[in-house]
Structure formats: structure tokens, C-alpha cells
Amino acid sequence: MNNPTDLKYSKTHEWVRVEADGTATIGITDHAQSELGDVIYLELPAIGASLTLDEPFGTVESVKAVSDLVAPLSGRVVRVNSDLVDAPEAINPDPYGCWLLVIEASALSEAADLLSAEDYALFTEEG
Amino acid sequence: MRRTPLFNAHVTDGARMVDFAGWQMPVQYGSILDEVRAVRSGVGVFDVSHMGQVRVSGAGALGAIQRLLTNDASKLAPGRAQYSLMCDDGGGILDDLIVYRRDGGAGAPDFLIVVNASNRETDFDWMSARGSGPDAVFDDVSDDYALIAVQGPMAEATLAPSLTGCDLAKLPAFSHAAAVFGSAPVHVARTGYTGEDGFEIFSAPTAAETIWRTLRDSGVVPCGLGARDVLRIEASYSLYGHEINRETNPYEAGLGWVVKPSKGDFIGREPIVAAKAAGLTRRLTGILPDDVRAIPRQGTVVTTAAGAGIVTSGTMSTTLDRAIGIAYLPKDAEGDVTLAMRGRELPARIVDLPFYKRCR
């Protein structure tokens, strides 16, 4: 798996791009899409909804299973990728090109606990 | 955890392996949806070596099978196969299976019964305890066979070049014959559980990998348990533990056509016949959610005007390009229903089964 080094990763397999202005873009990792198989359904919160660190904020469903999406950071939703909700199968070939949400992070210090690409690669190999 | 003779071939082919019924089996090689498409429009190959085989032989073999199973095996000519059920004393379904009659018809009856992997030991114990006698011998011969299913409209054309000794074009559905694949003696049956034309090849375990490789080299798409589940739900074939189990009656499961009370006594006959006479309370139906991406998973509660029901299987149908489900609903339920899915109520409607039937 090739995980971009400019992203941070959660142990629940979300990727996060933290911007200097306090916003963060969230998606699911290559490992996650590979484990899920064909993604067919996405359920995401509305703009304005609040995310709480480590709490489920939506679901991703594949032919095989339904999985929770878990918040890698706390914050308020400012953008939702509605194109992806309409065509969630786009995640499988391009998990790092398909973002789910942009949030205004309420505590960027939480990002310190996220994994680097290298640590995430080790984590998924062990897991 | 058991491995089939094709374990190494699956790993080489890039399969994602999962634990299933005590076996390490491939769930998918790439995309489940692509594998389903291959079987519906071309040809796919499945490793089903994990399924169990019970041999029944001896002068009393037919009598034993007639007592153990619901269908009428006396109608089974040599070289033919029959879908059947095995029920307990209360009429609950212990398993669904296929009986192959292998003897030539001139004495020495010889049957092979293929059962679900998850029920292999319990089925064998039940059969041998309830069916065996001085002239009916039961053997668990599961380890003697690898089993490869070749399924799809191109199955016959794909198998023909490697398979000799048997004219596949003259092998009707639910029949079987001895043949040779490459240099390996095999038994080939025109059976399967995908809703397509197809064949199942019984071989020695040592011959399986060469057969698999030969098929792969001819362009057949390897398919895993994931695709198998989508295909059988589309064709609305029951799966043990979903549509059928010890709490289900064959009639409500839509399997009354393999129950033959007229053949005489068999285990479970009285309660099955009595339940039908008293009137069935529920039946298996199809469910189509209005939201084509909302898969009704097993266990989803269905609310209808006639009472509540429950989903037994659901999936994304590649062929219909929408979510589909199978549910037990009150017998008189019809029209619009509501699905309780992860805290939300989603509208759906009842349709007849099956979802998919191939053109012949």
C-alpha cells in the first residue's frame, strides 16, 4: 500500500489532511477500501454537524459489510462530498483522491495522536 | 482451520482469504461485482472443495435415503442428480443437499450426497445414526474429493477442450458422468448454485490445482464466496443459516417442491404435512428498497400491514444494479413495507422471487 506522506492516519483507517487555517479534510485509507471491497453506499453527516473524536460520524457499506466511519478529529462539518455519495464506488480505485468531509477542527492538538504514513503502514501490516 | 487442495492457487491468484465454516476460503480475488458479472455473461470458476460428500452404498442404500430425505430418490435414474432436504423429527430443516445416483442401475446401489460445509459433520452423524443398517453403508468421503464449479453461459465451451470422455452438450441439467480432464479421471455434473448453466467437477485432491490452472489459463475468472452469495441471492436459492434452518418448514421456505409425502414415510413427514394442512403463517418474498443503494441485511425488521417480518439475506445485485433482499413476511403481506435500518425507517416494496432467472 502506498500511503501519501503529507497525510495523517487514524487507527480506524481514516486519512486526514490538516491545513494551516484549522480545516481538515477526511477520507478513508487504501487499506480500508481494500478490506471493504466494492464500496456501494456512503452515509455522511450534513453541513454544520459536529464530529467528536473517536465517535462514529457516518457509515460506509460494501457488498460484504457495513462499517462505521470514525472521527479522527473533533470539529464542525463545513463541506460534504455529495458527488461521492452519489457514486461511492469511486473510492475503490482512488481512496486518497476521494475526500468525504472538510471540517473546522475544534482542537488541532488532537492531530498529534494521528499516525504518520510510515507508522500507519506498520500498524496495518501488524494488524 | 482447514485448507482445500486449492489454497496455494488462491493465494497465488491474489485472493482475500477468510474463515468460513472452519475453512480458509477465498471471499474475493478482485471485485465481487466483477466476479458476478463474469458468471452472468461469461464464465467463472469456484472452489467448492469445502463442501461435504457422503457416500451411501449397499442393497439398502435407496431405502435409507428415502427415509432420511424429503424428495423421492426412487425417481433418480443412474447418472442423474436431485435437490433434496434433510429434516429433523419436528420437520425442521437440517440441511439442503444434492443426491447423485452413481451406480449403473444393475444392483449395487451407490449414491453420493453433497452437503453444506458448515453441516458436514452433523449431517454425517445424523445420516449414519438414523440411516445405516446391515445393508446401507454411510462413508464420509469428503476428503477424497476436490470440487470445482465452472459456472456461466460460456461454461460448456470453456470446459470442452480439456474434458474428454463425455459429451457435455448431451449432458442435461442435473445429470452427471465420468470424464477425463487433461489426464485426470474426474466426475462431471451439470449442477451448481449460481442460477447459470454450469458444471461441477469432482476430482482427486491431487489433480485439483492442475484443473484450476488449466481453467484459469483459458481465461475463466476465479470467483470467491462473496460472488457466490450475490449470485445465489439473485437466483433466490436458499442458504442454510439464512433462509433455512431447523426452525423453518420446507413449504414456507418455498421448497415444497422437494417434499414428496406420497413416497411414504420419511423423517419429519408428519409435522411437515401437518404444518401445511394447518396453513402456513409466513412465506419468503423479495424486498426492493426504494433507495437502490440501501442493502437490507440479514436480521433487518420489516414492517407490513399484515405484521412484522425479517430479512434473511440481502446484497447489492450486480445484475439488477440495485439493492435486493429476501425476507420472511406474514403470508398475506403485500405492497409497500418499511425497513428498520440502522435507526432509520426506509420504504420498500414486496416483489416475487426470484430476482433473476436466466433465459434458456
Measured over all CA atoms, what is the biggest interatomic distance in chain B, rounded to whole angstroms? 62
Q: Which is it for strands B336-341 and B344-351: parallel, antiparallel or unpaired?
A: antiparallel
- Is the Cβ pair A63, B297 closer than 8 Å? no
- Is the Cβ pair A40, B315 closer than 8 Å? no
The whole-number pLDDT of residue A125 equals: 87
At B32, which amino acid appears?
Answer: I
Helix (H), strand (E) counts: chain A: 3, 9
Tell me which of A58-72, B51-65, B233-247, B326-340 is least confident.
Answer: A58-72
At A53, which amino acid appears?
Answer: L
Phi, psi angles (nearest 5°) of residue A36? -70, -40
The answer to whether B285 touches B326, Cβ cutoff 8 Å, is yes
At B239, which amino acid appears?
Answer: L
The whole-number pLDDT of residue B243 equals: 98
B224: closest chain A residue by CA: A64
- Mean pLDDT throughout B188-199? 97
User: B290-313 pLDDT, tens per residue?
Assistant: 999 999 999 999 999 999 999 999
The answer to whether A22 touches A48, Cβ cutoff 8 Å, is no
Q: Is the pLDDT of residue A47 over 90?
A: yes
The whole-number pLDDT of residue B151 equals: 98
CA atoms within 13 A of residue B158's CA, in its CB half-sphere: 27
| Residues on chain A bordering chain B, Cβ-to-Cβ distance under 8 angstroms | 37-38, 40-41, 59, 61, 63-64, 66, 88, 92
The whole-number pLDDT of residue B62 equals: 95
- Is the Cβ pair A63, B32 closer than 8 Å? yes
Q: Is the pLDDT of residue B41 over 60?
A: yes
Q: Is the pLDDT of residue A57 over 60?
A: yes
- Mean pLDDT throughout A97-118? 95
Q: Is the pLDDT of residue B285 over 80?
A: yes
User: A72-89 pLDDT, tens per residue?
Assistant: 999 999 999 999 999 999
Task: Kindly state the helix (H) or strand (E) to which residue B28 belongs, with its residue range.
Answer: strand B23-28
Q: Is the ipTM beyond the 0.85 threshold?
A: no
How many residues are recorded in chain A?
127
Confidence of residue B106 (pLDDT cuts 50, 70, 90): confident
Contact list, A61 vs chain B (CB under 8 Å): 293, 295
Q: Is the pLDDT of residue B360 over 70?
A: no
The whole-number pLDDT of residue A2 equals: 83
The whole-number pLDDT of residue B134 equals: 84
Across all residues in chain B, what is the average pLDDT?
A: 96
pTM, full prediction: 0.92
Task: Kindly state the helix (H) or strand (E) to which residue B10 belongs, with its residue range.
Answer: helix B7-12
Candidate from A59, A61, A63 with C-beta closest to B230: A63
Beta-carbon neighbour count of residue B297 at 10 Å? 18
Per-residue DSSP letter, B133:
B
User: B108-145 pLDDT, tens per residue?
Assistant: 899 999 999 999 999 999 999 999 888 999 999 999 99
C-alpha cell at B348: 420498500
Cell 469428503 found at: B142
Of B344, B313, B309, whose CA–CA distance to B328 is shortest? B309
Gap between the Cα atoms of B70 and B61, Å rounded:
15
Candidate from B28, B297, B342 with C-beta closest to A37: B28
- Mean pLDDT throughout B239-247? 97
The whole-number pLDDT of residue B340 equals: 97
User: B144-157 pLDDT, tens per residue?
Assistant: 999 999 999 999 99
Q: Looking at the complex, does the CB of residue B313 fall below 8 Å from at least one CB of chain A?
A: no
Across all residues in chain A, what is the average pLDDT?
A: 94
The whole-number pLDDT of residue B107 equals: 77
Q: Is the pLDDT of residue A127 over 60?
A: no
Gap between the Cα atoms of B163 and B167, Å rounded:
9
At A117, which amino acid appears?
Answer: A
Candidate from A41, A64, A92 with C-beta closest to B294: A41
Q: Looking at the complex, does the CB of residue B33 fall below 8 Å from at least one CB of chain A?
A: yes
Gap between the Cα atoms of A103 and A111, Å rounded:
13
Gap between the Cα atoms of B150 and B142, Å rounded:
19
- Mean pLDDT throughout B27-50? 97
Cell 472452519 found at: B22
> Of A64 and B264, which is predicted with more confidence?
B264
Contact list, A38 vs chain B (CB under 8 Å): 31-33, 316
Gap between the Cα atoms of B234 and B91, Å rounded:
27
Q: Is the pLDDT of residue B334 over 90?
A: yes
- Mean pLDDT throughout A38-63? 95
At B299, which amino acid appears?
Answer: G
Contact list, A41 vs chain B (CB under 8 Å): 293-295
